[in-house]
Amino acid sequence: MAEQRTSIHGQWSNRTVFILAATGSAVGLGNIWKFPYITGENGGGTFVLVYLLCIALIGLPIMMAEIMLGRRGKRSPINTMRALAKDEHRNPGWAWLGWMGVVAGFLILSYYSVIAGWALSYIFRTAGGLFLGATADGVNSIFTDLVSDPERLLAWHTVFMVMTMAVVARGVKNGIEKAVTVLMPLLFGLLIVVVIYAMTTGYFMDGVRFLFTPGTIDSKGVLIAMGHAFFTLSLGMGAIMVYGSYLTSDHSIVQASIMIALADTVVALLAGLAIFPIVFANGLEPSAGPGLIFQTLPIAFGHMQGGTLVGVVFFSLLVFAAWTSAISLIEPAVAYLVENKGLSRIQAAEWMGVVTWLVGLGTVFSFNIWKDKTLTIPFLFEKFTFFDTLDYLTANVMLPLGGLFIALFSAWVMHQQSTREEMATYPLVYTIWRFLVRFITPLAVIVVFLKAVGAI
């Protein structure tokens, strides 16, 4: 029996707040910005199918495991893994798993902040009527002008990081709880509005066919689908673990995980149904890359009735969705500094904010003055910009590896009695979960990795 612990950072007011907070962490730029463009780059329908399978067989079981570890440890991911290893009489070196999650979240936020800055700038562009009656070429030109200006990108990156650290400094409960209860339902509602608009373009079924008609996908595409399942559910980066540490023991981990995964998946699919009909209606390429959402939705807002107002609200809510995710990305590192270095939350937030901002400069410059400077990832033999390198290594290497070892620790290192105490669910559900995290999930991650590096 593990010692009874209490988080020094407080706890969620109730289960609904936890679900909204974790959903806020999961639902963000990954669903609305990243999912559509990686679907376009990797074959459409088959990619979506592989992604959904990864969510069900890999993402959901690992989410349950990560919440379980966090709630049992009641500390930052690093200290949680160290404490749980001690409880189970294992090597305390398992703390390295917490370290990898914290570093992954920090690196993701460094470029996530830059992309969120794009959304911030689009609030004002939309409000100023810049997209009214705009053509596809005109919107593309506006986007190109933005990302090619390092000073402008730096300014928006700075604003978003200040916003994020201001909330973290106040504490997750006082910041995120108040925001997600309003912002996430509104974001969902506005996505529905844009989907309805997409139905009027005459290309809605083209978008449906693109999303759900099987195509071709290679091993790299499978790895990206699996990586995005981790990215979009905030797995392997310490965020879900630290949020789980604020969850009381009387709430069902299984029910909460299913609700979070469903909400996250629905938003991702709605984003695809909203964007791809507009892509085809305006002769754009679905494989347009990271700028896809900024080159398609403004066209819709520029032509629909009340589009300026809807556009302003949509990009505002996109920023808030990114904001709630950003808070969860940096919270594990801030919690560790408070626990181990004796810093106040304000001091910890300031330190992490500055360091994250500095690393984010690499992403800012990747779209302009460093766009021709590339790095080579050894086993891929491809050249990547600084931004592409961080994106690929975190989403497709660090997060899946983190998820793999979370599964191994919860299923093979922890005693069965320990996990059963935390899961507290129907025997059949527990048996299925334990089977998945012991065998199916680790095997799937390992096979995809070996395939990606050409070992099999």
CATH of the domain at 263: 1.20.1740
| Mean pLDDT of the region 85-91 | 92
Residue 37 counted as domain residue:
yes
Q: Are 388 and 429 in contact (CB under 8 A)?
A: no
Alpha helices (H) along 253-344: 253-281, 292-303, 307-341
* Predicted confidence (pLDDT) per residue in 37-66, tens digit: 888 888 888 999 999 998 988 889 999 999
DSSP secondary structure letter of residue 92 = G
- Give φ, ψ of 281 to 5 degrees: -65, -25
- This prediction has a pTM of 0.88
Q: Tell me how far apart the 2 most distant CA atoms of the chain are, in Å.
A: 66
Residue 427 counted as domain residue:
yes
* Predicted confidence (pLDDT) per residue in 2-31, tens digit: 556 777 777 777 888 888 888 888 887 778
- Domain count for the chain, please give it: 1
3-state secondary structure 405-436: HHHHHHHHHCCHHHHHHHHCCCHHHHHHHHHH
Identify the domain containing residue 407 by its residue range: 15-452
User: How many Cα atoms sit within 13 Å of 18 on the Cβ side?
Assistant: 28
Q: Give me the pLDDT at residue 41, please.
A: 83
Residue 10 counted as domain residue:
no
**Helix, strand, or coil (residue 169):** helix
Residue 134 counted as domain residue:
yes
d(CA 369, CA 378): 24
**Helix, strand, or coil (residue 238):** coil
Q: Give me the pLDDT at residue 105, please.
A: 92
Q: Give me the pLDDT at residue 161, please.
A: 96
pLDDT at 128 over 70: yes
Residue 178 counted as domain residue:
yes
* Predicted confidence (pLDDT) per residue in 285-335, tens digit: 787 776 777 887 888 888 877 888 888 888 887 888 888 889 889 999 999
Which one has a higher pLDDT value, 159 or 221?
A: 159
**Helix, strand, or coil (residue 141):** helix
Residue 104 counted as domain residue:
yes
Tokens of 75: 């500390």
Q: Are 83 and 97 in contact (CB under 8 A)?
A: no
pLDDT at 163 over 90: yes
| Mean pLDDT of the region 270-275 | 88
Residue 241 counted as domain residue:
yes
Residue 276 counted as domain residue:
yes
Long-range contacts of residues 306-309, Cβ cutoff 8 Å, at least 24 apart: 307/131, 307/132, 308/126, 308/127, 308/129, 308/131, 308/132
Distances in Å between the Cα of 370 and the Cα atoms of 114, 143, 145, 148, 373 are 15, 18, 16, 10, 5
pLDDT > 90: percent of the chain: 39
Q: Is 281 left (phi over 0), alpha (psi -120 to 50) or beta?
A: alpha
Q: Which of 330, 246, 326 is nearest to 25 (CA)?
A: 326
**Helix, strand, or coil (residue 45):** helix
